[in-house]
Homo-oligomer: A and B are copies of this chain.
Amino acid sequence: MTVPDNPRQLSAEIFRVVTGTSEPIYRQLIEQLRRLLAGGQVLAGDAMPSVREVASELGVNPMTVSKAYSMLEAEGLLVRRRGLGMEVAAQSDGNSDLESRLELLRPGLERIAVEASQLELEPKAVIALLTSILKGK
C-alpha cells in the first residue's frame, strides 16, 4: 500500500459497479467510497473525480453518480466546492483502526456463514475457498 501525496486528483477508476444485482448503483458507490476512506486509500482533501467522468467511465447516467455524491455530502464525507467539484471532507478521519475496518466486513461474513450452513458446508472448506480467493488477488 502506497500513501500518496495529498491532496491529489482521484480517478474515476476508484469505483467499480456491478449490474444485474439488486443493490442500487448509487448505493454501491456510497459504500465503496466509505470503505476506501476507512482503508486510507482516499484521504481528506483529495479531489473526487467529476460526476461526468465517473458516469462515463462506469457507463451510467450522471444523475446516478450525482445522487451518490449528494448523499455523501449530506453525510459529511464530501464537501462541494462550487464550480470546482467535490472533495473529500477534512473531518473524514481517514484510515480507521483495524477493529473498525473489520466491523465493516462483519455483516457480509455473517451472511456467508448463513449461506454456508444452508449449503451444509464445513468451515474448513469455506475458509479454504476464501483463502484461495484472497491470495489469488
| Contact code string A14-41 (vs B, CB < 8 Å = 1, else 0) | 0010000011100100001001101111
Cα separation A75 to B126 with both chains bound (whole Å): 27
Q: Is A71 an interface residue (CB 8 A)?
A: yes
Main secondary structure of the interface of A (DSSP, over half): helix
Cα separation A111 to B135 with both chains bound (whole Å): 14
Best-buried of A1, A112, A118, A134 by chain B (most CB within 10 Å): A118
Answer whether A130 and B102 are a contact pair too, CB < 8 Å, given A23-B22, A39-B121, A120-B1. no
User: How far in angstroms is the closest Cβ of chain B from A17?
Assistant: 11
User: How far in angstroms is the closest Cβ of chain B from A120?
Assistant: 4
Answer whether A127 and B126 are a contact pair too, CB < 8 Å, given A105-B112, A116-B105. no
Cα separation A42 to B117 with both chains bound (whole Å): 13
User: How far in angstroms is the closest Cβ of chain B from A125?
Assistant: 6
Taking a contact as CB atoms closer than 8 A, the residue among B41, B109, B111 that contacts A120 in the complex is: B41
Taking a contact as CB atoms closer than 8 A, the residue among B27, B35, B112 that contacts A130 in the complex is: B112
Cα separation A6 to B114 with both chains bound (whole Å): 24
Q: Is A115 an interface residue (CB 8 A)?
A: yes
User: How far in angstroms is the closest Cβ of chain B from A14?
Assistant: 9
User: How far in angstroms is the closest Cβ of chain B from A42?
Assistant: 9
Cα separation A108 to B108 with both chains bound (whole Å): 8
